[in-house]
Structure 1
Amino acid sequence: MKPHIYAAAQASSINHRANRLLAALEPDDFAALEPHLHGVSLRQDQVLYEAGDPLRHAYFPHDTVVSLVAVLKDGRSAEMAVYGREGALGLVSAMTAVQSFGRYIVQATGTASQIELERLHEVMRIRPKVRQLVLNFAEAMMARVLQNVACNAVHSVEERCCRWILSMHDRLDRDAVPLTHEFLADMLGVQRSTVSSITRSLQKAGLIRQSRGVITVTDRAGLERASCECYGTVRRSFERLLPHTYRNTSATVPPRPRQCS
C-alpha cells in the first residue's frame, strides 16, 4: 500500500523540520531540499518496501517509526535497523544501492517527509553540507548495526527488549507506545511467549504498564538500568556524529559498569 501524500492545502501545515535530521540543516541547505519534500501519512503495519524492491524515495519520519526487517524463508523475521525522527530511511541508498535489503515496515502511525532519491542526489551534488549530513548519518547507522550484532550475540532477551522499548520511547516522545507482543517478538527474533513473560516481569517491577496493543513507560530511568549497555553506546554515537538529533533530553542514568550476559 502506497503512502498517502497530502493535498496542497494539507501539505502547507506539514512541518518538515519535525524531523530532527532536516532540522539540523542550515537554512540555505534546507531551502534547497524543501521544494522536493512532500508530506505523507504512514499507517502502522504498512509495508513501504519488500526485499529486492527498487528504492525510489527517502523518508524522514516526524512522529512515526519504521523498521528494516530481514524475513527468512521459513517466515521468521528479525529487525536489522530502525528509523525515527532522528534520521531517515533510504538516505544510504542515495549514495549506493538501488534495491531494498529487506522489508521496511511502519511500526507506529504518523507522518513523514518524502523525497525522490533522484532529487536528493541533485541537492547532494550542489550542497556539500547536505552530503556531509548524509555521510554522518550513514556512519551513525553503521555503528548502530555493528552494535546490534554484538548485542544480539551476548545480551539477554530481557535486556534487548528493554533497549527496544527505550528506542521506541525516544523516537515517539510519548509514554504510550503502540506495541503488540507479536510485533515485538518479530523484531527481537524470539517467541511471543518469551516476550509476554518478559513484559509481565517488567510490569511487576513497575517499569511499564501493559494494555491491549500498547506498552506505557512508567519508569524510564529503571528501564534504562534494566537495558544493556548498547542503548547508551548507540545513543552516544548519534550525539557525536549528529548532535541534537536524538531525544530532546539527555539520558540521566549512567552506563552500567558490568558487562551484560
Structure 2
Amino acid sequence: MSTAPESYFEGNLLLRALHDDDRALLAPHLERREYQKGDTLFSAGSEVSFISFPCDRTVATLVIAMQDGRSAETATIGREGAVGGVVSNGCLPASTHAMVQIGGPVVQLDAVRLQEAKRRSASLRNLFTRYSDCLLAQVLQSVACNALHPIEERCMRWLLTLQDRLGTDTLPVTHELFAAMLGVQRTYLTRILRILQEQGLVEVGRGRITIRNRAEMERVACECHGNVKRHFETVLGAVYGPDGQLLRVRPPEPARAARSLDPAAVIERANR
C-alpha cells in the first residue's frame, strides 16, 4: 500500500501535530477526497466506518434533525479536528448527521486503522483522547447555549466559531444554512442579522456574512465561545492567532511524556 504524502498531514492540525513515528502508523491508510457544500459524511443511524479530517478551509457540521423537519447544529469542525469514530472502538451507528458546510479536501482514515494505531502509540492515543474531550466540550456548551441564551448571542457564537476555523472575516454562508444551523426560521434570522449589522458588528451580503468588529462581538457575545476556546487551549494546547484563527494544536508536555511510558517503547529502549 502506498504511503500518503506529507501534504495530507499539513492540511489538518490534528494530523500535523502527530510525531513522525505516529504519522508512519497512519500514512499507509490515509485517503484524500474532495467534498462539496451540502455533501453528507454520514447519516444518523448509519455505521461510521471511517474518520474524516477536514483540511484547509473545509468545515463540517454535526446536526440533529427532528421528525418535524427542523434541525440544529451541535458542533462545527474544521481543520482543527475530525468527525466520525474518533472515540469509539469500531464501526458504531452515528447519533448525528454530519454534513459538509464549506466544501474542500477531507482526509479519511478507516476507523479500525485508527484504533490499531492508538493501541500501539500512547502519544497518538493521548492526542485523540484530548481532542475527543474538546469536541464533547463544544457539543455540551452548544446545548447549554441553545437552551439558555437569546438568539442574538447564539448567532454571534456560531459566527465566531466559524471564523476561528476559516481565518477570514468574510464567511461564505447563506441565510438559509445559517437559520438551519440555529434551528430558527430564515425570516427571523434575517431580522437578527439586520440588528447586528446596525450595531456595526457584521455586514450581510448575498451568500456571505462579513464580521466587521470581532473584538466587540467577543465582548458582547455570551461566554460560550470563550469557554470552548479556553478548553481547547488548556486540554489540546490550541494556539490562536490575533484574528482568532486556530493556527495549531500542541498538546501539553505530559502528553509527550506519556510516550516514554508506552510499554513497547520501554522494551525497545531496553533492548538497544
Q: Which amino acid aligns with 1:28?
A: D
Is 1:217 the equivalent of 2:211? yes
Does the 8 A contact of 2:138 with 2:228 survive in 1?
A: yes
> 1:46 is matched with which residue: 36, 39, 61?
39
Q: CA deviation at 1:177?
A: 1.0
CA RMSD of aligned residues (A): 1.9
Matched, 1:226 2:220: yes
The alignment covers a number of residue pairs equal to: 241
Report if aligned partners of 1:51, 1:101 keep a CA contact under 8 Å in 2. Answer: yes
Please tell me whether residue 165 in structure 1 is matched to residue 159 in structure 2. Answer: yes
3-state SS of the aligned residue for 1:92? coil
User: Structure 2 length as normaliser, TM-score?
Assistant: 0.83
* 1:97 Cα deviation after fit: 6.1
Instruction: Report the alpha carbon displacement of residue 105 of structure 1 after superposing the two structures with TM.
Output: 0.8
**Contact 2:47-2:91 within 8 A present in 1 as well:** no
CA shift for structure 1 position 125: 1.1
1:204 matches 2:178: no
Per the alignment, residue 178 of structure 2 pairs with 184
Paired letter, 1:26: H
Question: What amino acid is the match of 1:165?
Answer: L
Match of 2:237 in 1: 243
Paired residues of 1:147 and 1:230 also in contact (CA < 8 A) = yes
Contact 2:87–2:132 (Cα < 8 Å) also in 1: no
Say whether 1:89 aligns with 2:97. no
CA distance in 1, matches of 2:27, 2:121: 13
1: distance between equivalents of 2:11 and 2:234? 21
TM-score by length of 1: 0.86
Match of 2:59 among 65, 69, 73: 65
- Is this contact kept in 1: 2:76–2:162, CA < 8 A? no
Deviation at 1:96, TM superposition (A): 6.1
Residue identity (%) = 42
> Bigger CA drift: 52-61 or 84-93?
84-93
Instruction: Assess if the C-alpha contact under 8 Å between 1:94 and 1:120 holds in 2.
Output: no
Letter in 1 for 2:109: I
**Aligned match for 2:68, one of 62, 71, 74:** 74
Alignment of 1:109-128 (within 5 A): 109-128=103-122
Give, as a single letter, the amino acid of the residue that structure 1 aligns with 2:15.
L
Partner deviation per Cα, 1:10-49 (whole Å, 9 max, x = no partner): x758442221111222222122212211111111111111
| Contact kept in structure 1, 2:12 and 2:79, CA below 8 Å | yes
- CA shift, 1:250, in A, is 7.5
Question: Residues 152 and 54 (structure 1 numbering): CA distance in 2 closer, same or farther, change over 3 Å?
Answer: same
CA–CA separation in structure 1 for the residues paired with 2:62 and 2:111: 18
Q: Which moved more, 1:122-131 or 1:85-94?
A: 85-94
1:131 paired residue number: 125
Native 8 Å contact 2:62 2:98 kept in 1:
yes
2:59 maps to a residue whose letter is V
AA of the residue aligned to 1:106: V
Whole-angstrom distance in 2 between the partners of 1:189 and 1:177 = 19
The one-letter code of the counterpart of 1:183 is: L
- Whole-angstrom distance in 2 between the partners of 1:223 and 1:31: 42
Deviation string 1:142-195 (CA, Å, 9 cap, x unpaired) is 222222222112111100100101111111112221111111111111111121
| Alpha-carbon distance, 1:126 to partner | 0.6
Report SS of the residue matched to 1:144.
Answer: helix
Give the C-alpha shift of residue 54 in structure 1: 1.0
CA distance 1:202–1:166, shift in 2 (3 Å):
same
Q: 1:154 aligns with which of 123, 127, 148?
A: 148
Once the two structures are superposed, what CA deviation does each residue of 1:49-102 show, in whole Å capped at 9, x if it has no partner? Answer: 111111111011112111111111111101122211111001434436611112
| Bigger-Rg structure (1/2) | 2
Partner SS, residue 47 of structure 2: coil
How many angstroms apart in 2 are the aligned matches of 1:128 and 1:207? 44
- The CA distance in 2 between the partners of 1:66 and 1:166, in whole Å, is 15
CA contact (8 A) 1:171 1:247 kept: no
**Contact persistence 1:69–1:78 (CA under 8 A):** yes
Please tell me the residue identity of whatever aligns with 1:49: F
Aligned mates of 2:199, 2:177 — CA distance in 1? 22
- Name the SS for the 1:31 alignment partner: helix
In structure 1, the residue matched to 2:92 is 98
Equivalent-residue separation in structure 2 for 1:151 and 1:17 (angstroms): 33
